[in-house]
Amino acid sequence: MARLEAPITVGMVAPSFVLHDDAGRPLSSSEARGRPWVLAFARSWRPGGDDPALRAELRGLGAILFIASDTGVWSFRPDDDLELSAAGSARLTRELAELRARWGVPSGEDGVFVIDGDGAVRFALAPSGDLAGALAASLAAAGRALLGLPPRPGITRRDWAVMSLVAGFGVVALHGCRPRAPDRPGEPPPPLSAAAGSDIDVVLRINGQDRRLRIDARVSLLDALRERLALTGTRKGCDHGQCGACTVLRDGRPVNACLTLAVAAQGAEITTIEGLARGDQLHPVQAAFITHDAFQCGYCTSGQILSAVALLRDGRARTDDEVRQQMSGNICRCGAYPNIVAAIQAARKEVV
Amino acid sequence: MKPFSYVRPADADAAIAAAGVQGASFLAGGTTLIDLMRLEVMRPDALVDLGPLPLTAIERHGDGLQIGAMARNSDVAVHPVVVARYPLLAQALLAGASPQVRNMATVGGNLLQRTRCPYFRDLAAPCNKRAPGSGCSAVEGYTRSHAVLGTSASCIATHPSDMCVALAALDAIVHTRRGETTRTIPITALHTLPGDHPEVEHVLEHGELITHVELPASPFAAHARYIKVRDRAAFAFALAAAAVGLDVVGGRIRSARVALGGVATKPWRALEAEQLLAGQAPSRAVFERAAHAALAGARPQRDNAFKITLARRTIVRALELAWGVP
């Protein structure tokens, strides 16, 4: 399996591109115009626009497909025929090399990126086998994820989170890779004045990665995480700062993401539940919550865990009563409190 | 939420200029403002984000302490000087809200915290504070959480802050700036009583920026206590709260401070109680007389007469614990 070191990460706004054929005609991501689009890098590609499975998936998505192959470039629309093909010019070869570099797909490897209608990268996949054979299945999986549908009946939502990454045919999710150096301080955001209703370019630093967004000032950090960056581990409960389901760490301290404007979170280091584990290695607090059965329905759990991580790092709350007081911003309607306290106390010795 | 323009100012001057525009509001921690904007109880046209401004310092100032307006409640609560010399403030801050909210909420924002009166937060209910002249739903409604001190026919909403009660007892001084003009406002003069205009809650001008809060040297550190009584032991607003301080010399109270929360329309200094305590030897009988004096002017509503008794007992208990009675 190829694991790509891509500077383009899931959740980022996709950069636009333009390629030119031999006659100088452009092939541009701007053709998508608010529709989802797919950018596939291929070692070699035979035009296969008559592939009915692929066409069906594109039609279902309403997506436009761009294929950038070393042997040519193509775009497919769900309702049209092959748009353009071109090969061989020195200009195109140079443009392809730049495009591969920009998207982090080395020459000689395949890669598939799915971009939603808002221009955010929602999937980044590195097919291990033949791209042509994998593409329809990849689009099928990506498309259903974009629509928020399970892959097929009988599969749970949790399974789907995994399925959507592996897509059933041996690909590896490129969850961003390349974290920034942890000691690099957050840069203060520059002065800004944005009119009501206008979109603002925002860079959020989440789980060690910079995420670029274009959002209205009203968007909460919670909605930015869930709706724009596909980081749905952070939960929306009351949306008024009273339940703690949306707890994230801001510069290491728990805050309510629902009461934080995303635009006002620039320059801060945000940690969500997705940022705690190291690969397959759960954070000790996550592991302790499982060991001690510290949840029932699980809806409040990510917020509970982040508050608990901060509590243990802070170190001041030590007795059970102090732990309860310090965890009071996280409500559990299942009433798992005794086991939550037990999990936190058990994880204490493992957390530095 | 109504669309608003967003300004991230380069410095305090730019912030003050931007906030001087009609309809503009400063954004500090956002724990009150964003909540009320989502309910559309507050509908500012513009937010001026104070987050990036360097107003977070907590530093000694002469014999006292100076706390930046953007210092977070959680930082102030554990600051060594606050803990050692202004324990009332540390206790009050830690009694407030949740860890998450304390990590967001600022000193300046907390000074201007809005009431939790459920009718104020309910757009369907008439409310003189939210919609001047529309009437008060609370006076005819369910009044268990409402005020018994400082009320008017127009409004009986309780001031919700814990921090402000401690600051009132500590004679804090609020420093502000607007344009080239700076001024200092004693905390007890910052908030206004509802009277006929409950929509007016403080004496600040539009666009006037709180820069910092000054705490003068306090003789009460050795005998001080904040007690908050509420429906649950954490993350709840006060039914009654008392911040008390005793300066005891030679077995007699030289001076005292008593401030109340959860029972009044503004952070409430009980001057009658303080005068009664001064010159006395500390005792339960003296504490009870002071507590009665503090609530002498209380006017109960239909559902909150219990608060008068509760507040008296809270004052007595706080004074006992401050003095050292187990």
- Most B CBs within 10 Å: which of A199, A222, A253, A309, as the mutation test of the B interface? A253
Q: What CATH number labels B5-49?
A: 3.30.43.10
* pLDDT tens, position by position, B129-139: 999 999 999 99
- Is domain A200-236+258-275 in CATH 3.40.50.300, yes or no? no
Check pLDDT > 60 for residue A352.
no
Do the chains contact at B99 and A261, CB–CB below 8 Å? no
The continuous run of DSSP H or E covering B104 comes out as: helix B99-104
Q: Domain A284-350, what fold? A: DNA polymerase; domain 1 (1.10.150)
Band of pLDDT at residue A106, cut at 50, 70 and 90: confident
A288: tokens are 């302790």
A320–chain B nearest CA distance, Å: 14
A7: tokens are 């500077």
Q: What is the 3-state secondary structure (H, E, C) of chain A?
A: CCCCCCCCCCCCECCCCEEECCCCCEEEHHHHCCCCEEEEEECCCCCCCCCHHHHHHHHHHCCEEEEEECCEEEEECCCCCCCCCECCCHHHHHHHHHHHHHHCCCCCCCEEEEECCCCEEEEEEEECCCHHHHHHHHHHHHHHHHCCCCCCCCCCHHHHHHHHHHCCCCEEECCCCCCCCCCCCCCCCCCEEECCCCEEEEEEEECCEEEEEEEECCCEHHHHHHHHCCCCCCCCCCCCCCCCCCEEEECCEEEEHHHCEHHHHCCCEEECHHHCCECCECCHHHHHHHHCCCCCCCCCHHHHHHHHHHHHHHCCCCCHHHHHHHCCCCCCCCCCHHHHHHHHHHHHHHCC
Q: What is the 3-state secondary structure (H, E, C) of B125-189?
A: CCECCCCCCCCECCCCCCCCCCCCECCCCCCCCCCCCCHHHHHHHCCCEEEEEECCEEEEEEHHH
* pLDDT tens, position by position, B218-274: 999 999 999 999 999 999 999 999 999 999 999 999 999 999 999 999 999 999 999
3-state secondary structure of B297: coil
B317: tokens are 């208990």
Burial A192-223 (b: 16+ CB within 10 A, else e): bebeeeeebebbbbbbbbebbbebbbbbbbbb
Order of strands across the sheet that contains B24-27? A192-194, B5-8, B46-49, B24-27
The answer to whether B147 touches B263, Cβ cutoff 8 Å, is yes
CATH superfamily, domain at B224-323:
CO dehydrogenase flavoprotein, C-terminal domain (3.30.390.50)
| The pLDDT of residue A283 | 96
| The pLDDT of residue B235 | 96
A228–chain B nearest CA distance, Å: 18
| The pLDDT of residue A143 | 59
Do the chains contact at A261 and B27, CB–CB below 8 Å? yes
* pLDDT tens, position by position, A258-270: 999 999 999 999 9
Sorted by where each begins, the domain ranges of chain A are: 18-173, 200-236+258-275, 284-350
Do the chains contact at A244 and B9, CB–CB below 8 Å? no
| The pLDDT of residue A124 | 76
Check pLDDT > 50 for residue A161.
no
| The pLDDT of residue A133 | 60
| The pLDDT of residue B37 | 98
Order of strands across the sheet that contains B252-261? B224-229, B240-249, B252-261, B268-269
**Closest to B162 (Cα-Cα) out of B247, B64, B259, B82:** B259
* pLDDT tens, position by position, A243-260: 999 999 999 999 999 999
* pLDDT tens, position by position, A42-100: 877 665 545 666 666 676 666 788 888 877 777 777 655 555 556 667 788 888 888 88
**Closest to B244 (Cα-Cα) out of B289, B215, B277:** B277
Mean pLDDT of A165-171: 30
CA B257 – CA A55 distance, rounded (Å): 78
| The pLDDT of residue A50 | 54
B40 touches chain A (CB under 8 A): no
| The pLDDT of residue A82 | 52
Q: What is the phi/psi pair of residue B286, to 5°?
A: -65, -40
Residue of B nearest to A245 (CA): B100
User: How many Cβ pairs closer than 8 A exist between chain A and B?
Assistant: 106
Above pLDDT 70, what percent of chain B? 100
Band of pLDDT at residue A187, cut at 50, 70 and 90: low
B8 touches chain A (CB under 8 A): yes
Set of chain B residues whose Cβ sits within 8 Å of the Cβ of A194: 5-7
Do the chains contact at A239 and B38, CB–CB below 8 Å? yes
pTM of the model: 0.75
| The pLDDT of residue A159 | 34
| The pLDDT of residue A68 | 84
The answer to whether B16 touches B179, Cβ cutoff 8 Å, is yes
| The pLDDT of residue A46 | 64
| The pLDDT of residue A136 | 66
Sorted by where each begins, the domain ranges of chain B are: 5-49, 224-323
Q: What is the phi/psi pair of residue A74, to 5°?
A: -140, 155
- How far from B176 is each of B32, B167, B200, B214, B217, CA to CA, in Å? 20, 16, 18, 11, 20
Set of chain B residues whose Cβ sits within 8 Å of the Cβ of A247: 100
3-state secondary structure of B9: coil
User: What count of Cα atoms within 13 Å lies in the side-chain half-sphere of residue A36?
Assistant: 23
A264 touches chain B (CB under 8 A): yes
B23 touches chain A (CB under 8 A): no
Do the chains contact at A264 and B103, CB–CB below 8 Å? no
Q: Which of B6, B97, B99 sits opposite A326 (nearest CB)?
A: B99
B104 touches chain A (CB under 8 A): yes
Q: Which of A191, A194, A261 sits opposite B5 (nearest CB)?
A: A194
Set of chain A residues whose Cβ sits within 8 Å of the Cβ of B74: 253
Set of chain A residues whose Cβ sits within 8 Å of the Cβ of B7: 192-194
Above pLDDT 70, what percent of chain A? 71
A290: tokens are 């499982």
The answer to whether A300 touches A332, Cβ cutoff 8 Å, is yes
A237 touches chain B (CB under 8 A): no
Do the chains contact at B100 and A261, CB–CB below 8 Å? no
Mean pLDDT of chain B: 98
The answer to which of A156-170, A189-203, B7-21, B272-286 has the lowest mean pLDDT is A156-170
Residue of A nearest to B45 (CA): A196
**Closest to B64 (Cα-Cα) out of B172, B187, B167:** B172
Do the chains contact at A191 and B235, CB–CB below 8 Å? no
Set of chain A residues whose Cβ sits within 8 Å of the Cβ of B103: 250, 253-255
Mean pLDDT of A131-154: 57
CA B36 – CA B40 distance, rounded (Å): 6
Do the chains contact at A217 and B47, CB–CB below 8 Å? yes
Check pLDDT > 50 for residue A150.
no
Q: Please, which residues 77-96 of chain B have a Cβ atom closer than 8 Å to chain A?
A: 78
Set of chain A residues whose Cβ sits within 8 Å of the Cβ of B99: 254, 307, 310, 326-329
Do the chains contact at A267 and B52, CB–CB below 8 Å? yes
Count of other CB atoms within 10 angstroms of residue A336: 22
| The pLDDT of residue A178 | 30
Mean pLDDT of B289-301: 98
Do the chains contact at A216 and B3, CB–CB below 8 Å? yes
The answer to which of A159-163, A238-242, B302-306 has the lowest mean pLDDT is A159-163
| The pLDDT of residue B290 | 98
CATH class, range A18-173? alpha beta
Residue of B nearest to A192 (CA): B8
| The pLDDT of residue A162 | 33
State yes or no: ipTM above 0.85.
yes
| Fold match flag (B5-49 vs B224-323) | no
Set of chain B residues whose Cβ sits within 8 Å of the Cβ of A254: 99-100, 103
| The pLDDT of residue A175 | 29
| The pLDDT of residue A14 | 82
Check pLDDT > 60 for residue A317.
yes
Q: What is the largest CA-CA distance in chain A?
A: 74
**Closest to B73 (Cα-Cα) out of B156, B155, B161, B134:** B161
What residue type is B298 in one-letter code?
A
B275–chain A nearest CA distance, Å: 36
Mean pLDDT of B159-170: 98
